[in-house]
Amino acid sequence: MYTQALNTAETEDRGLEDAARAAQFQARIDAEERIEPNDWMPAAYRKTLTRQISQHAHSEIVGMLPEGNWITRAPTLRRKAALLAKVQDECGHGLYLYAAAETLGTSREELVDAMLAGKAKYSSIFNYPTLTWADIGTIGWLVDGAAIMNQIPLCRCSYGPYARAMIRVCKEESFHQRQGYEIMLTLCRGSDEQKAMAQDALNRWWWPVLMMFGPPDATSQHSDTSTKWKIKRFSNDELRQKFVDATVPQAQYLGLTIPDPGMTQDADGHWRYSEIDWTEFKQVLAGNGPCNRDRLAARRRAHDEGAWVREAAASYAAKRARRQTAQAAE
Partner 1 sequence: MATPNTPLWEVFIRSRNGLAHKHVGSLHASDATMALQAARDIYTRRGEGLSIWVVPSTAITASDPAEKGMMFEPAESKIYRHPTFYEVPEEVGHM
By C-beta, is 41 or 198 nearer to partner 1? 41
Give the nearest distance from C-beta 190 to partner 1 in angstroms.
30
Stretch that binds partner 1, among 67-75, 93-101, 147-155, 183-191 (CB under 8 A): 93-101
Report the candidate in 149, 152, 169 with the shortest Cα–Cα distance to residue 213.
Answer: 149
Q: Indicate whether 80 belongs to the interface with partner 1 (CB under 8 A).
A: no
Q: Indicate whether 92 belongs to the interface with partner 1 (CB under 8 A).
A: yes
18, 46, 84, 89: residue in contact with partner 1 (rule CB under 8 A): 89
By C-beta, is 6 or 196 nearer to partner 1? 6
Q: Indicate whether 112 belongs to the interface with partner 1 (CB under 8 A).
A: yes
By C-beta, is 24 or 274 nearer to partner 1? 24
Cα gap 167→171, rounded to integer Å: 6
Cα gap 121→307, rounded to integer Å: 23
By C-beta, is 42 or 259 nearer to partner 1? 42
Q: Report CA dihedral (108, 114, 116, 121) to the nearest 10 degrees.
A: -110
12, 13, 39, 277: residue in contact with partner 1 (rule CB under 8 A): 39
Report the candidate in 143, 119, 92 with the shortest Cα–Cα distance to residue 247.
Answer: 143
**Contact of 202 with 247, CB cutoff 8 Å:** no
108, 121, 228, 242: residue in contact with partner 1 (rule CB under 8 A): 108
Report the candidate in 31, 20, 25, 19 with the shortest Cα–Cα distance to residue 45.
Answer: 25
Site for partner 1, residues 128 to 187, rule: CB under 8 A:
164-165, 168, 172
Stretch that binds partner 1, among 108-116, 123-131, 237-245, 257-265 (CB under 8 A): 108-116
Burial 288-304 (b: 16+ CB within 10 A, else e): ebebbeebbebbeeeee
Cα gap 326→330, rounded to integer Å: 7
In the chain, what is the greatest distance between 2 CA atoms, to the nearest angstrom?
83
- Chain positions contacting partner 1, by CB under 8 A: 1-6, 36, 38-40, 85, 88-89, 92, 95-96, 99, 102, 107-110, 112-113, 164-165, 168, 172, 303, 310, 313-314, 316-317, 320
